[in-house]
Amino acid sequence: MSAAAPGTPPLTDERLLKTSPLRKLMGRPELGSVVGAVAVFLFFAIFADSFLRASSLATVLYASSTIGIMAVPVALLMIGGEFDLSAGVMVTTSALISSMFSYQMTANVWVGVGVSLLLTLAIGVFNGVMLTRTDPPSFIITLGTFLMLTGMNLGFTKLISGTVSTKSISDMEGFSSAKDVFASTLTIGGVDFKITILWWLALIVVATWILLRTRVGNWIYAVGGGEDAARAVGVPVNKTKIGLYMGVAFGAWISGQHLLFSFDVVQSGEGVGNELIYIIAAVIGGCLITGGYGSAVGAAIGALIFGMTSKGIVFAEWNPDWFKFFLGAMLLLATLLNAWVRKRAEATK
């Protein structure tokens, strides 16, 4: 143990210190959130009778995955130092595009799904290009996109379908195979798991690989840590940011297709407010709001904490009038625990 005791400054340059694997683990951004997640899990395991059943845990995982599919790319974007407030309604936009395109063109549902992917990615490109070509911060630019998409969702749906929800496409060709991909249920050991859990896990793996094992990952950390410095050493800052926005759009596409294929019809007013939940999940999971620090696994665990808390309260059958209060209090406690653990970890580094 060559590191100094907590509280006293290290005697040599900290970069030259040898760190033990345990210390290395303590320095990971997701550590605090893991402790928070375990605490929330134990809490509901004790206070909610039906929480520990396999079917209940599958429900919790489903709820977490619908947040997590978006929280992972949103976390990458935040590590890159930017926000996307349009992420919540973009999910609805993506679902509306595939539904209405398929219906109006009487096309195979997969064609609509493909068109939706292209158009949703185009929205991501729009966000990224607007950000890199103009001055305003991403907060303002994506706020604009958020409001425009909210209006377009309603406006186009009414213009095309005549009502505020899309028409059912469940009797069209390709629907059942698309449903298998985006909204099916897998039975493992008698317990039904939603396929979104697999999408979620896949996104975590891919995002973690990009962040830790590729050059692009280094670019993302560099861009979020200091844009000018990154540009000075030759990082393609603009391309990285546009790519990150496209990542969020890709997540929105997956979530949107899930929304469409699990309910057949899409309500055009949905998704507003979810963008904050994605950001919250990323922050609970250890992402810094200022960028440059965080991890995909952390964001996924943040989503898990959110999912466990919001459904755990229902399992515990507490007074529903106080639901939001309990939700807020639990999240605050989990985050405080997270921050405390991280501080201890940094102090012992």
Partner 1 sequence: MRTARTAATLMAVVALAAGCSSSGGKTSEDKADGSTGGKSAGTPRLKIAMVTHSGEGDTFWDIVQSGAKQAAAKDNVQFLYSNDKEAKGQAELVQSAIDKKVDGIVVTLAKPEAMKAVLAKAKDAGIPVVTINSGGEFSQRFGALTHIGQDESVAGEAVGRELDKRGRKKALCVIHEQGNVSLEQRCAGVKKTFKGTVENLNVEGTDAPSSQSSIEAKLQAAKDIDAVVALGAPTAAVAVKAKQDAGSEAEIDTFDLNAAVVKSLKAKDVGFAVDQQPYLQGYLAVDELWLYKTNANVIGGGKPVLTGPAIVTEKDVPKLEKYTARGTR
Q: Which of 164, 329, 332, 347 binds partner 1 (CB under 8 A)?
A: 164
List, as own/partner pairs, every contact residues 292-295 make where C-beta atoms lie below 8 angstroms and the sequence separation is at least 24, other chains included: 292/79, 292/81, 292/221, 292/224, 292/225, 292/226, 293/29, 293/79, 293/221, 293/224, 293/225, 294/29, 294/75, 294/78, 294/79, 295/28, 295/29, 295/30, 295/75, 295/79, 295/208, 295/211
The distance in angstroms from the start CA to the end CA of the chain is 11
DSSP bridge pairs for 191: 188
Q: What phi and psi, each to the nearest 5 degrees, are found at residue 348?
A: -90, 0
189 binds partner 1 (CB under 8 A): no
Beta strands 191-194 and 185-188: pairing type?
A: antiparallel
Measured from the CB atom, the residue of 24 and 158 that comes closer to partner 1 is 158
Size of the site for partner 1 (CB under 8 A): 68
Nearer to partner 1 by Cβ, of 2 and 104: the residue is 104
> Is 218 a binder of partner 1 (CB under 8 A)?
no
The mark string for 117-146 relative to partner 1 (x by CB under 8 A, - otherwise) is ------------------------------
Give yes or no for a contact between 274 and 133, defined as CB atoms under 8 angstroms apart.
no
**Binding range to partner 1, per CB under 8 A, among 105-113, 141-149, 219-227, 338-346:** 105-113
Q: Which is nearer to partner 1, 170 or 290 (CB)?
A: 170
- The reply on whether position 317 binds partner 1 by CB under 8 A is yes
Residues 43-82 that bind partner 1 (CB under 8 A): 48-50, 53, 55-56, 59-60, 62-63, 66
Q: How many residues are recorded in the chain?
A: 349
Closer Cβ to partner 1, 160 or 333, answer by number? 160
Q: Per the structure block, which two tokens stand in for 298?
A: 């952390």
For residue 305, the minimal CB distance to partner 1 (Å) is: 15
CA distance 175 to 103: 11
Nearer Cβ to partner 1 (35/304): 304
In this chain, which stretch among 102-110, 120-128, 205-213, 214-222 interacts with partner 1, using CB under 8 A? 102-110
Q: What is the dihedral of CA 321, 324, 326, 331, to 10 degrees?
A: 170
Give the contact letters, 168-187, x = binds to partner 1 (CB under 8 A), - = no: xxxxxxx----------x--
Q: Which of 272, 264, 266, 270 is nearest to 161 (CA)?
A: 266
Instruction: For residues 322 and 273, give the distance between their C-alpha atoms in angstroms, rounded to a whole number.
Output: 20
Tell me whether residue 135 or residue 171 sits nearer to partner 1 (CB atom).
171
> What is the smallest separation between the CB atom of 64 and partner 1, expressed in angstroms?
9
Radius of gyration, CA atoms only, the chain: 21
Q: Tell me which residues touch partner 1 (CB under 8 A).
A: 48-50, 53, 55-56, 59-60, 62-63, 66, 102-111, 114-115, 150, 153-154, 157-158, 162-165, 167-174, 185, 192, 194, 258-259, 262-265, 267-274, 307, 310-311, 314-317, 320-321, 323-324
